[in-house]
Structure 1
Amino acid sequence: MVGKKSGKALLREEGLERTDNSMSLTSWPEVNPINQKNYYTEFLKRDDQILPYRLQQEERRNRMTTHAKNRDRELAQVGLEETTAVDPDIDLGDDVGLDDTTVPGQEQLGSKIIVIHPGSQNMRIGLASDSLPKTVPMCIARQWAKSESEDRDGEPRPKRQKTNSGSVMAPEKMFGPTFANEYTTMSTELKIYMRSNKQRVLPNSKELVVNYNKRIEPESISEHNDPLRIDWTELTPKPPPYFTGKEALRVPDYSNPRYKLFWPLQCGQYNEKDYDEKLHLYNDITVIIEEAIKNQLGLRRKREWAQYSCVFVIPDLYEREYVTQTFDMVMRDMGFGRIAFIQESLAASYGAGYTITCVVDIGAQKTSICCVDDGMCVEESRINLKYGGFDVTETFIKMLLFDHFPYEDINLKRRYDFLLAEEIKSQYCNLKIEDVTVQPGEFHLRAPHQETRKYSFKFYDEKYLAPRGFFQPDIFDNAPKLDGRRKIIQPSTNIYSGSLDDPLSSAQSAIIHACVQLSGKDTTNGDPNGNLPSTPLRQPPGLLQRLNEPNDRSSPAGNSAAGDDEDSTPAPGGDSNPKNGQNLLSSVFQEEILPIAPLEHAILTSILYGARNDERKMRDFLGGIMIIGGGSQIPMLDLFLEEALKKAKPPNAKDVQVGAKPRDLDPQVVAWKGASVFGRIPSTDDLWIGRIEYDRLGARVLNNKVNWIW
């Protein structure tokens, strides 16, 4: 039997005995591990540890020092012996702005602030000290192989269907059976409504219009006899590579060399359909804004722009890529000294002077709805619909062509036809039911290198039914609006979870889910191609029922509108938690769904989520609806919208009121005017982003420098 061995013997036999001289492995001092149960840090727990706040405090101290020195100098010059000490705790940010505009001898307040509000069709730009902005078409014409009217083998807009032999179909069939049925249904419903209101309806009104338009021939007018002839953009022997603004719209379509017209923003977002590279898209936006600053504001020396600040108006439901790219463009490419961002609806409330309102901004290609309460946009009430004033223009032209419009070759891809269509719409379209009679009209067609042609025509209900498309969006051509989406620019995603970072409100989520439900498609797996439908929404399912529910904690409307409780009931067409709009679309490709809904139902959806189970706010929002934007200039639109909202029978329907033009301002410039007011308020100093913050932090500084959750 083997005896028991000692520990040292085992170490020696196993080769584990230490044979060194007990020297440490390194000469670096050893750090003992901290006690995990008792340690504390203040890293990034105080405002003075964050760069934007630190710079703000330094700027405030510098202003206070400068103000004290200036005051002492003035008192010394007048020979006063007794001076009043400056209170070290005074906050001079309330009476001395960042640009020191209150110091005697300085320029006018706001003269160093440029306000920019870009849109899909027009851009408003001007100094904050200006009473009204300059309007510049948001387009650029670049030298190209073909013009936009020659692309796709010269396919016109609106698109006409052709027969098997290649000829264009009759006007009643050229836009397909869907449009024909929708248009005929709307006409029939209008006649029934007019008869029920004891208005005279001629039984053969359509026949009178068609027979008159068929036999009309244009009248030629020589150029020297046309007092309103157009001065087209002249091309020099060495033409420039591009034109912007109004000059771009006046370049002849068949010029030599050819120029193609680009609209970098469409439907309130980047126009990826007409671009193959995102750098080309970004560069076009930069060039349009820079040329507007040089030509419209007279600031031709770019090195002087560092002395100016910029207020940039962004959509309520923005894309993060759009904001960050704009941030880089303004600070890096244009070289402005500071920038501040403001959302469209909040800017409109500043311009109108309203503290609580529901803003309905009808633009050229998008309509945004948002509730504003005490200087903040209610996040869950934001809605962005992809239709606007241009859809009314296109539908109006289709209806006229359907009734044998004498100028049958009109093509909205041609620049002079596009301007003509906008002119005809603004001249004749309205929502006055008493004006729905057979009426004559005329227009002058002015094309480059051609004599002016004068056309006469008759119309009946087209001018009334086209703007009715806001309330029946099925009549609009919604199919191509998602073409090219995410072709060159990918959405912003969270680096940790991989989910989309772009904001999506509960109201917008309800609209999108209702569109998907009405389509009858499976939202879990999608269709075989991974696409989802863009069916317009006639009425959000369950919305009006929820609006009429008793307003208490036990009601579905109360639980879902509050959106803060775990036991809340589903939103219209959504999941059980409307607080986070992203959750409502977890199983749906939200990028492939086109948000389309009747205007009155979209407004009620926005107010439902904006009120948050508060009956007082519900009354305030319903009684403070404000419509702005170029698409809102259709006569009687405000009264028609008010009547449509009351017919929907929401709670407190008697309180529904659509306000008139705020302060007698042009509704197109209300948002720009509010942004100019915002830029001149000293108390908004916290929202300005300077050069040092941009150079050191980049887009990360937006977390601390915007007045919404970034």
Structure 2
Amino acid sequence: MDYLKSALPSQIISERGSNLVVINPGSANIRIGLASQDTPFNIPHCIARHTKQTEGNVIDQMLNSHVVPEQHKEREKAYNTIASLLKIPFLDEEAPSNSIPRKMGRVDGHNPHIIRKNLPFTWTNLYEEAIDSSVSLETSSKGENGESSDPKEEGADSKDINASERKFKEFICGDEALRISPTEPYCICRPIRRGHLNISQHYSMQQVLDDLHTIWDWILIEKLHIPRNERNMYSAVLVMPETFDNREIKEIISLVLRELCFGSAVVHQEGIAAVFGNGLSTACVVNIGAQVTSLICIEDGGALPSTGKTLPFGGEDITRGLLWTQRHHQTWPQIRTDVFRKPVDLLMLNQLKETYCEIKEEELDAVAVVHSYEDRGPPVSHKIRLTALNVPPMGLFYPKLLVPDVYPPPPRTWFHDYEDMLEDTWHIDFSRRSDMSDTFYPNVNGGLPMWESYPIFSAKPKKEEKVGLAEAITNCILSTGRIDIQRKLFCSIQLTGGVALTRGLVAAVEERVLQAIPPNEAIDTVEVLQSRTNPTFVSWKGGVILGVLDLGRDAWISREDWIHNGIHVGSSKKYKDSYYLQAQAMCYMNS
């Protein structure tokens, strides 16, 4: 303890961070890296496996893209409400004439000034040949037999490679998995969706865990260069979203310790890590992820479980709202854009959203270049005028614009209990049956009798609400029930996640939260704190700080203990000296 008080943060990091891997898994992306890194790798959380199917790939399990007429009406009504607030024309009104036509047509030549932020993506190379990991769309437009579809392009290159010798990669992870044409023989799976393990009757728990293992193992080897035979010398810090239930966390711990062979691991809540990542001790953390938004109040370094809330929408819903808006205004070109079955289209739209969308009053248009991706062919560029770019991000406050039910959460029927990681029940000393095997996966059929020995808790659904962001923040803070902490939290709102980078969001949150506070509450000030680091990575950074400062404490689980003893019984006073940890975090952030 005395050493930690006297040592410089950089010295502690160099001594303790070199063998510490910090993992912050999300629904759409995983942030992972060594504690000694400045920023983590931010990798799409998906895997494409080679399949024998000949009719293209299955993008997601139990995917429902049907929107009922009532949802269309609600969406249009939400748009007009937003339009009134932003002082722009309603949905069916024509905007004033503009010298730039909305439809600009196809772009035959590249204009660097226009497309420098929206370059076309490239198809992934699917073969195990020793060539570049990804090739241009023009190159990959060749057929599966390796010959060009254009007779003029046939030459020596097309004859060098015998078609029978070309072997498909068994699996492809991360960004490259999203750049595979739906016509290719690959099935894309996302093991985490809407803040939970993506388990369904079509995607078993064992398959989900196998996919997670393959993705994480690939990252450790290819990105962090940590081979399997050296993992026992590394420790893992798991920064877990509050949406995860305890059983899901137990499965992840087993994956890290048993399958990935880390020497030890520790779990920290994402909300707490976000606070420490910014050198704070008290805040209302609002994490706006790609598929869910989670809120939790932190006081003196500890979470207040009763304040936890989950909203079933995120950045990808805003992206879909952008496409819907453009199609409704007939600004989108006549191309086959499908965010559900063509992941490359979602990548393109996400890029457009991040570049052009912001929250501000009055009309917000922009000239941009969008791309169409057809089968294995090269991308086609279309120059268009995007309109109403300030409407989609306002869906955070008016979620009916986003139609979240288009992308429902995974079914939860596989659960026998609804433990909440915020309630600290996982420190209970569970008894084990004498006939239970010490191994975590005792039978090859995927059964987990280990869990049968645990008591079944009464079913308690997660606190998921279908309200706007301002109401959710207000309810979250007011649920603390104490005026002193309420005033402090309303002035300590912390926005995290990639959507937090949206221009104009901070001012919009401050204004609308202030409006949402009931008039009988003695609160007249709302403030969103400026993040000291990239909001996308702040929870990961907090995991680094907590992991480095927490190494000697009893919350850590060793691989041997986990395999032989199962559930680890940790201290219920995990953050008992949070003031000390917070001071260390401030020192770290300011160094």
- Number of paired residues? 493
Tell me the distance in 2 between the aligned counterparts of 1:179 and 1:272: 26
Instruction: Name 1:241's counterpart in structure 2.
Output: 170
Is contact 1:267–1:365 with CA below 8 Å preserved after alignment? Answer: yes
1:464 is paired with a residue whose SS is coil
Is contact 2:240–2:270 with CA below 8 Å preserved after alignment? Answer: yes
Tell me the distance in 2 between the aligned counterparts of 1:360 and 1:193: 23
- The more displaced of 399-408 and 236-245 is 399-408
Instruction: Name 1:232's counterpart in structure 2.
Output: 123
Does 1 or 2 have the higher relative contact order (CA < 8 Å, sep 6+)?
2
Instruction: Name 2:368's counterpart in structure 1.
Output: 441
Is residue 74 of structure 2 the alignment partner of residue 182 of structure 1? Answer: yes
Is contact 1:244–1:288 with CA below 8 Å preserved after alignment? Answer: yes
Of 417, 429, 448, which residue of structure 1 is paired with 2:345? Answer: 417
Compute the RMSD of aligned alpha carbons: 3.6
Is residue 525 of structure 2 the alignment partner of residue 655 of structure 1? Answer: yes
> Counterparts in 2 of 1:317-356, with a 5 A limit?
317-356=243-282
Instruction: Name 1:491's counterpart in structure 2.
Output: 415
The one-letter code sitting in structure 2 at the alignment partner of 1:217 is: G
Tell me the distance in 2 between the aligned counterparts of 1:275 and 1:202: 39
Change in 2 beyond 3 A, CA 1:145/1:632: farther
How far the C-alpha of 1:599 sits from its partner, in A, is 0.8
1:677-698 deviation per Cα after TM superposition (whole angstroms, max 9, x unaligned): 1111157522211234323321
How far the C-alpha of 1:318 sits from its partner, in A, is 2.8
1:421 is paired with a residue whose SS is helix
How far the C-alpha of 1:456 sits from its partner, in A, is 2.4
How far the C-alpha of 1:669 sits from its partner, in A, is 0.1
Larger Rg, first or second structure (1 or 2): 1
2:188 is paired with a residue whose SS is strand
Of 102, 105, 118, which residue of structure 2 is paired with 1:217? Answer: 105
How far the C-alpha of 1:120 sits from its partner, in A, is 0.6
1:290-311 deviation per Cα after TM superposition (whole angstroms, max 9, x unaligned): 1111111111x21101001110
Structure 2 regions of 5+ residues with no counterpart? 128-165, 424-455, 577-591
Instruction: Name 1:430's counterpart in structure 2.
Output: 358
2:105 is paired with a residue whose SS is coil
How far the C-alpha of 1:448 sits from its partner, in A, is 6.2
How far the C-alpha of 1:273 sits from its partner, in A, is 4.2
The one-letter code sitting in structure 2 at the alignment partner of 1:205 is: E
Of 336, 352, 359, which residue of structure 1 is paired with 2:285? Answer: 359
Tell me the distance in 2 between the aligned counterparts of 1:245 and 1:690: 29
Is contact 1:117–1:123 with CA below 8 Å preserved after alignment? Answer: yes
Is residue 565 of structure 2 the alignment partner of residue 638 of structure 1? Answer: no
Tell me the distance in 2 between the aligned counterparts of 1:347 and 1:302: 28
1:173-211 deviation per Cα after TM superposition (whole angstroms, max 9, x unaligned): xx654344334434443454456xxx89999534869x9
Instruction: Name 1:470's counterpart in structure 2.
Output: 396
Tell me the distance in 2 between the aligned counterparts of 1:707 and 1:317: 21
Is contact 2:242–2:422 with CA below 8 Å preserved after alignment? Answer: no
How far the C-alpha of 1:418 sits from its partner, in A, is 1.6
Tell me the distance in 1 between the aligned counterparts of 2:85 and 2:73: 18
Instruction: Name 2:537's counterpart in structure 1.
Output: 669
Tell me the distance in 2 between the aligned counterparts of 1:418 and 1:148: 21
Tell me the distance in 1 between the aligned counterparts of 2:281 and 2:109: 54
Is contact 2:26–2:241 with CA below 8 Å preserved after alignment? Answer: no
Tell me the distance in 2 between the aligned counterparts of 1:156 and 1:208: 40
How far the C-alpha of 1:480 sits from its partner, in A, is 4.5
Give me the TM-score of the superposition, normalised by structure 2.
0.75
Is residue 305 of structure 2 the alignment partner of residue 379 of structure 1? Answer: yes
Of 131, 137, 144, which residue of structure 1 is paired with 2:51? Answer: 144
Of 476, 489, 493, which residue of structure 2 is paired with 1:625? Answer: 493
Instruction: Name 1:687's counterpart in structure 2.
Output: 555
How far the C-alpha of 1:427 sits from its partner, in A, is 1.7
Structure 1 regions of 5+ residues with no counterpart? 1-90, 160-174, 494-499, 506-581
How far the C-alpha of 1:146 sits from its partner, in A, is 4.5
1:595 is paired with a residue whose SS is coil
Change in 2 beyond 3 A, CA 1:188/1:247: closer
> Counterparts in 2 of 1:253-652, with a 5 A limit?
253-255=182-184, 258-273=185-200, 275-299=202-226, 301-404=227-330, 405-412=332-339, 413-434=341-362, 436-445=363-372, 449-461=376-388, 463-482=389-408, 484-486=410-412, 490-493=414-417, 500-502=418-420, 590=461, 595-610=465-480, 612=481, 614-650=482-518, 651-652=521-522
1:332 is paired with a residue whose SS is helix
Is contact 1:492–1:502 with CA below 8 Å preserved after alignment? Answer: no
Instruction: Name 1:552's counterpart in structure 2.
Output: none
- The more displaced of 180-189 and 361-370 is 180-189
Change in 2 beyond 3 A, CA 1:328/1:705: farther
Identity %: 25
1:676 is paired with a residue whose SS is helix
1:504-548 deviation per Cα after TM superposition (whole angstroms, max 9, x unaligned): 88xxxxxxxxxxxxxxxxxxxxxxxxxxxxxxxxxxxxxxxxxxx
The one-letter code sitting in structure 2 at the alignment partner of 1:601 is: E
Change in 2 beyond 3 A, CA 1:187/1:248: closer
> Counterparts in 2 of 1:37-186, with a 5 A limit?
108-146=15-53, 151=58, 159=66, 177-186=69-78
